[in-house]
Amino acid sequence: MAALASIPPTERLYLPSLEGNFIYTSTATLLKLTKTFPVDDAELPEAGATLLKVDMVFDKSPFHPQGGGQPTDLGQIRSTSTPSIVFTVDKVSFSFETNVVTHHCSTTSVDVATASPLPAPGAEFSLEVDEEHRKNMSAFHSAGHLVDSAIYSLGYCGLIPQKGYHFTDGPYVEYAGGKSVAEDERKTLVPRLNEKFCQLIADDIPTTICMQQKEEAEADLNRETKVFDFSVFKEAEVRIVGIANFLCPCGGTHVPSTSHLSDFEVTGIKMKKGALRVKYDRKKAQ
């Protein structure tokens, strides 16, 4: 852990602006490579075995790590030296303690037993995000924001966002204070949310992203609806994302505007231990 502590924070290319959400490739300098399989050189597999797993840290990265309810980016990392080694990115993670992004990768393009030394710190790599997967994850994540916008534009300010799950297998947004929505209103909530969805999508509202001083952001966002707890943020600046005119702190990737969410709909609601869960999904083909 001591070695990792000396590594500087990773420059996350998707983070500071909306444009960063559409950067899919970058060159980067390797800062650290750790072999994770096989772990022990004393137990090298037979010659010819080619599955090698490594963790890689770079000075910068276009990859979005798994977190905030959004699945990991996938893609490839290739060394720019000859012969090139191609690593498949299986998962990307982020440490809030060190602000370092780690790419968990595998490769079958080298013989593990006889491989010449693996790339060393200082080597240059090409980092390539799977663009189709990223766009899909951005859409599922952004549709969760659209639920927020629809909820608050219907006036349900007693609902406090407490969880978002933006994976493709049953995404939802969950709010504390579900009982602040009267039972008879809950019965008509899904069609009313979908009506609001249609309106917000037709308005094609551009997404906004900015880094803002924490105190300033808290004053702005909690002025009308006091739904955000800023005490959880340790940094001086907070990333504020606006989708369908609703602002919230968020670290994910997003679509450029609401018209990109035209194939999403609210599919149901559920009360769970006093919380209101709003389920949404891509519309199923008719």
Minimum distance of Zn ion from residue 253's CB (angstroms): 8
DSSP assignments along 216-273, one per residue: HHHHHHTTT-----GGG--SSEEEEEEETTEEEE--S---SBGGGGTTEEEEEEEEET
Least Cα distance to 17 among 152, 207, 153 occurs for 207
Q: Which is nearer to Zn ion, 52 or 238 (CB)?
A: 238
User: Does residue 250 bind Zn ion (CB under 5 A)?
Assistant: yes
Question: Which residues in the 213-242 window bind Zn ion by CB under 5 A?
Answer: 241
Q: Which is nearer to Zn ion, 173 or 250 (CB)?
A: 250
CA distance 159 to 153: 12
Count the residues of the shown chain that bind Zn ion, applying the rule CB under 5 A.
3
CA atoms within 13 A on the CB side of 248: 25
Describe the crossing of helices 131-153 and 189-202 by its angle, rounded to 10 degrees: 120
DSSP class of residue 67 equals: B
Task: Work out which of 7, 146, 252, 258 binds Zn ion, going by CB under 5 A.
Answer: 252
Round to the nearest angstrom and report the end-to-end CA distance of the chain: 53
Q: Which is nearer to Zn ion, 227 or 250 (CB)?
A: 250
Helix, strand and coil percent figures for the chain, each rounded to 5: 25, 35, 40
User: Does residue 249 bind Zn ion (CB under 5 A)?
Assistant: no
CA distance 166 to 253: 11
Radius of gyration of the chain (CA): 22
Minimum distance of Zn ion from residue 139's CB (angstroms): 11
DSSP class of residue 178 equals: G
Q: Which residues bind Zn ion (CB under 5 A)?
A: 241, 250, 252
